[in-house]
Amino acid sequence: MSQRFDSLSLDQRLLDGIADMRYENMTPVQEQAIPVALTGRDVIVAAQTGTGKTAAFLIPLISRFLAAPAPGIRGLILTPTRELAMQIDEHFTGLGYHAGLQSSCVVGGVAFGPQEEAIRGGVDVLVATPGRLLDHMRFDHVDLTHISYVVLDEADRMFDMGFLPDLMRILAKLPKNRQTLLFSATMNAEVTRLAAGHLRDPKEIRIGLQVPVDGVAQRFIAVANSDKRAVLIDLLRDRAIESALIFVSTKRGAQKLDEALYDAGFESDSIHGDREQAERNQALERFRRGDVDFLVATDVASRGLDIPDISHVINFDFPRDPEDYVHRVGRTARAKKKGSSITFVGPEDSMSMSKLERSLGKRIEPEMRHRRRPQRRGH
């Protein structure tokens, strides 16, 4: 039986926020990470997405700041993407609603001025992407001398996206006497070196690496690249899939598939790097509300997005590595719910498939599915 949040010795204002967010029982990563973080110790958490890690670092942060109120920016949460930063900021607002703590989300793709005004107006926590935070630091908009709690979220993804130089510049400006929590899906050599250089005697916690969450029914379909679009449309027309997050490899591919689905009569939208941030936010919100049934996305959306009740994830393009597979599939079956994934496998995916089989520890036999012949109009 998992431990309840109200069994922790937390400030009532924080417990009220937890109740508002309808959190009751802790996930395994929360059970292991929160008590350690509450002691003030540095923590390394290796856990896949969808395991509740956001609350695992926000709850100790809020608890610490409530116990010892002080002026200035005291918390810094660094994430690789704008979407993830905005989502963390939303969670902070919910959990900290009764605590009177203020945060600012500092990300690219949105106006610079309002962020500066919010920072200068006085906040307790910054949730930021590295590049935009450095922009504010260059203009002396932000004072980091009071930082006492730092979170490096999705550390492996920040490396993949080339943020290491930015991270090092930021960490060099932070007080040495601080608590640091590092979260990563995989503990590769780069992440391990970063932890060794910037965390003090950290407690290491590892939760279910490279295994899709329980509750995901995984399906693999062998299909030629030239037939993938037609096979996908056939699947969606069966109506067994009411809504789905559909992953493709490229920005151009996402846009073209979204247009093809629209032309086929489906309500769809897309998020990818060529769309303005406001357009991406709008697409996500439309999908959350159910205004569109299908959201086509590049891997910018594969980590950290908390969209409840996604029943299906479809890998239209095969993931580049097992970690990406886990993170994509992790968008469904969240919070112990059931979900399904469908992955298209083409002849060109044989090496990636072998890597995935080794990671999952099992043989995968894709099912064969042939495209239907198009029906004649008028029949």
- Per-residue pLDDT of 310-363, as tens digits, reads 889 999 999 877 767 877 887 776 555 678 899 999 999 988 888 888 777 788
> Which one-letter amino acid corresponds to residue 140?
D
Q: Which of 177-186, 188-197, 250-259 has the lowest mean pLDDT?
A: 188-197
Q: For the whole model, what pTM was predicted? A: 0.64
| Domain at 216-368, CATH from 2.40.110.10, 1.20.1070.10, 3.40.50.300, 3.90.380.10 | 3.40.50.300
d(CA 127, CA 86) in angstroms, rounded, equals: 8
| More confident position, 242 or 100 | 100
DSSP 249: S
Confirm if 21 and 54 have CB atoms less than 8 A apart.
no
Q: Where in the chain is the domain with CATH 3.40.50.300?
A: 5-207, 216-368
Q: Which are the contacts of 97, defined by CB distance < 8 A and separation ≥ 6?
A: 16, 17, 20
- Per-residue pLDDT of 103-113, as tens digits, reads 999 999 888 99
Q: Could you report how far apart the first and last alpha carbons of the chain are, in Å?
A: 57
φ/ψ of 95, rounded to 5, equals: -70, -35
d(CA 245, CA 328) in angstroms, rounded, equals: 9
Percent of the chain at pLDDT > 90 equals 56
What is the CATH T-level fold of the domain 5-207, as seen in this structure? Rossmann fold (3.40.50)
